[in-house]
């Protein structure tokens, strides 16, 4: 709701404002997952096997946890950061008080992403075609849900959990029943990530280099937008535009949700992979390097 209020207050000129890199933070080799929680931003590194705690007031790393295997997906909730370890087939719980690993929870094969929503931790298992639901109190898997072929990103929106896959569909999971509904995305061959917003379900079609926006009520296509090569993830910024990272395109595109038009393209270089909003800005990380980039819109 807050995102809609902010977007509604923006003048058209604000949507067309240019964005750029406001700060660069070194977090580790194959910089990947990003999480804004409380006073800090967290970023992990897939090849570095570590998690960095970043103070957004100074754009400096203030603490690190190492030995996390091959982490990428991050989630926050229940006084912890939850980290996906892709090769270890585990979700790691890192307590915020001491900032160390307190639990290693076995899930399916090759967990791709993790989310904290509806009182649970959710992990997508790419190699199993499933989603694991974890009780954050007992720290045990309480349900395994089938979610098609190669589930990838997972994101909560409205009253449901949304799962991107490496096929032509996304899945909507009802947290009350654990029922998964397949939602085909016309013309897509790889619906890698999903950003569910009140104005549309934004689906990032990685192999097709497009973004499809589905109507939230009946899932018909509202927009299909061409983007630089291999977009990977999307998020709604505080400026009211949808920000999409293009890994092989080495850039981030800003899209006006109403028109479905690209209003700005920020050249980052490298391979921006995951993208998240926090502290008034948008953050993405270089999967081909060590940089966490803070992106800001200039009026």
Is the confidence at residue 251, as pLDDT, over 70? yes
User: What average pLDDT does this structure show over 139-161?
Assistant: 96
User: What average pLDDT does this structure show over 261-276?
Assistant: 97
Angle, CA of 50, 68 and 247, to the nearest 5°: 60
Q: Exposed, middle or buried, 218 (CB in 10 Å: 0-12/13-18/19+)?
A: exposed
Walk me through the domains of the chain, giving residue ranges and CATH numbers: 2-298 (2.130.10.10)
Is the confidence at residue 91, as pLDDT, over 90? yes
Is the confidence at residue 25, as pLDDT, over 70? yes
pLDDT by residue (tens digit) across 182-199? 999 999 999 999 999 999
User: What average pLDDT does this structure show over 271-290?
Assistant: 98
d(CA 30, CA 228): 21
d(CA 155, CA 197): 10
Is the confidence at residue 13, as pLDDT, over 50? no
Supply the DSSP string of 128-175, one letter for each residue. Answer: TTEEEEEETTTTEEEEEEE-SSSEEEEEEETTEEEEEESSSEEEEE-T
**Which band of pLDDT confidence, cut at 50, 70 and 90, is reported for residue 16?**
low
Sign, CA dihedral 285-286-292-298, equals negative
Is the confidence at residue 253, as pLDDT, over 50? yes
Is the confidence at residue 3, as pLDDT, over 80? no
Is the confidence at residue 229, as pLDDT, over 80? yes
- Residue of 131, 138, 216 lying closest to 179 (CA atoms): 131
Average pLDDT, the chain: 94
Locus of tokens 């954050």: 136
Residue 81 near residue 42 (C-beta atoms within 8 A): yes
Residue 6, CA distances (Å) to 1, 197, 211, 269 in order: 9, 13, 23, 29
């Amino acid at each position: 709701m807050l995102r809609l209020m902010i977007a509604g207050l923006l003048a058209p000129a604000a949507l067309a404002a240019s964005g750029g890199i406001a700060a660069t933070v070194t977090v580790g080799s194959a910089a990947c997952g990003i999480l804004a929680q409380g006073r800090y931003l967290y970023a992990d590194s897939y090849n570095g096997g570590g998690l960095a705690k970043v103070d957004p007031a100074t754009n400096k790393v203030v603490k690190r946890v190492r030995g996390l295997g091959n982490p990428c997906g991050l989630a926050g909730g229940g006084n912890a950061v939850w980290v996906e370890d892709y090769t270890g087939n585990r979700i790691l719980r890192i307590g915020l008080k001491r900032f160390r690993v307190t639990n290693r929870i076995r899930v399916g094969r090759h967990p791709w992403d993790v989310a904290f929503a509806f009182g649970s931790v959710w992990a997508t298992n790419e190699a199993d075609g499933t989603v694991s639901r974890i009780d954050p109190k007992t720290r045990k898997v309480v349900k395994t849900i089938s979610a098609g072929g190669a589930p990838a990103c997972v994101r909560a929106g409205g009253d449901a959990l949304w799962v991107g896959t490496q096929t032509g569909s996304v899945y909507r999971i009802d947290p009350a029943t654990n029922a998964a509904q397949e939602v085909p995305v016309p013309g897509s061959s790889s619906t890698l990530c999903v950003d569910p917003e009140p104005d549309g379900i934004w689906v990032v079609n990685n192999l097709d280099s497009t973004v499809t926006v589905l109507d939230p009520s009946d899932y018909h296509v509202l927009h299909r937008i061409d983007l630089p090569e291999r977009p990977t993830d999307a998020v709604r910024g505080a400026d009211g535009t949808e920000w999409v990272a293009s890994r092989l395109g080495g850039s981030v595109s800003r899209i006006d949700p109403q028109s479905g038009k690209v209003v700005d393209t920020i050249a980052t270089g490298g391979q921006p992979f995951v993208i998240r909003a926090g502290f008034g800005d948008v953050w993405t990380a270089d999967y081909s390097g060590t940089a966490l980039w803070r992106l800001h819109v200039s009026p």
